Homo-oligomer: A and B are copies of this chain.
Amino acid sequence: MMKSSFQPPHRILMGPGPSPVHPRVLEALARPTIGHLDPEFIRLMDDIKSGLRDVFRTENEFTLPISGPGSAGQEACVVNLLEPGDTFVACVNGVFGERMALMAERAGAIVLRLAQPWGRGVDPEALREMLKAHPETKLVGFVHAETSTGALSDAKTLAAVARENDCLVLMDTVTSLGGVQVEVDDWGIDACYSGTQKCLSCPPGLSPVTFGPKARVAITGRKTPVRSWFLDMNLLIPYWGSSAKRSYHHTAPVNALYGLHEALLLVAEEGLPQRWERHLRVHRAMVAGIEAMGLRMAVPAAERLPSLNTVEVPAGVDEAMVRRQLLDQYSLEIGAGLGPMAGKIWRIGLMGEGCTEHNLMLLLDALGQTLADAGVKVDRAGARAAVEA
């Protein structure tokens, strides 16, 4: 029974997403709705496509936001690139690599999983061997930034290995785009998707995607229709195309796109390299603080994802109780582990607007106090000093 307006609490969002949204983006969401066929809306679309090309670092014409969350963009890439019977190698080092495999199975592909340890980047040598054994592979998929574990993979090398074997390359950048260096064209990525609610600091609900020339040929030259009408790029491209040849598909989420436009403008104002540098700087301070406190990072130093930091839960600590206390007492959200890492790690986001020294200090203070209250010996002063250094 609906009785009154929903007034959300003010949270400090330091989980795996959504991340904090800039007031300018929130304000943009509330601008008056216009029609999706309005000439002004076409101007909005053009701006967004251009802004997305900038953050993806690509010249790809086929660059646009899918009208659904990251998993819609993920499925859009999978179902457009794969036809029944195609061979797909999925690099699985966490929840989201496995999800790619599951989607490909539903698309009728033959799916080969390159199983990798959770909490580590994907090993390019293992991929090379897999592809040698399976020269029929059409597409290789991997997750650049595994949100479920906090591991960053060497995307450039993985893409090179795939291309040496004449495979198309699909990359998940949900938790890297706009916060960690992504170079779609330079790395030779054929298709890439992301979400808006991580390092772009938009609300969830849109999924930027980009397709390069080889992916485009694979999509326009399919022998079978894409299994999803809603996600068929052959229908979406003309909808997002230039006004002269634009055709109707669905009704785009107008107000959400106002928000994405403003968020992309904020990225452009800060500068992409500056933004990557900020994420790296705050991440390094976080590692210093966490380790000075006496806690341990879950991922080896060389494979850590700056935007999503996984911290091992100290022995004997009820991790859910800690998260609940952080939420109740500090209105601060952090995330739990998923799958085999459930109960063993916390996932702490330093993404987009939320990636600041101020938020980090708050997190360390709140986590330190909560652990101390639970009887865990932590060096809170040491953590603070390490961050300030």
Contact = CB atoms under 8 A, between A and B. Distances in A.
Interface in A8-39: 8-11, 13, 15, 17-18, 20-21, 24, 26-39
A368 B105 CA distance: 57
Given A2-B268, A18-B36, 6 more contacts: A2-B54, A36-B204, A67-B72, A71-B249, A197-B251, A248-B338
A230 B5 contact: no
Contact of A71 (B1, B4, B30, B250): B250
A307 to B, nearest CB: 15
Contacts of A114: none
Nearest to A257: B6
A327 B106 contact: no
13 contacts: A2-B54, A6-B28, A6-B261, A8-B31, A10-B32, A21-B255, A33-B203, A36-B204, A68-B68, A99-B229, A105-B225, A203-B255, A228-B228
A105 B225 CA distance: 9
A40 interface: yes
Interface stretch (A44-52, A117-125, A212-220, A370-378): A44-52
B35 A11 contact: yes
A229 B30 contact: no
A105 B7 CA distance: 43
Identify the 9 closest CB pairs spanning chains A and B, nearest first.
A205-B253, A30-B30, A203-B255, A68-B68, A71-B250, A204-B251, A29-B29, A26-B30, A2-B51
A103 interface: yes
A47 B6 contact: yes
Nearest to A6: B261
Interface string A46-83: 01001100100000000000011111101100010000
Interface residues on A, range: 35 or more
Per DSSP, are chain A's interface residues mostly helix, strand or loop, or mixed? Answer: loop
Contacts of A204: 36, 251-254
B256 A256 contact: yes
Given A205-B255, A338-B248, A226 B261 contact: no
A287 interface: no
A31 B30 CA distance: 9
Most chain B CB neighbours (cut-off 10 Å) among A54, A228, A248: A228
A75 B264 CA distance: 30
Contacts of A252: 69, 204
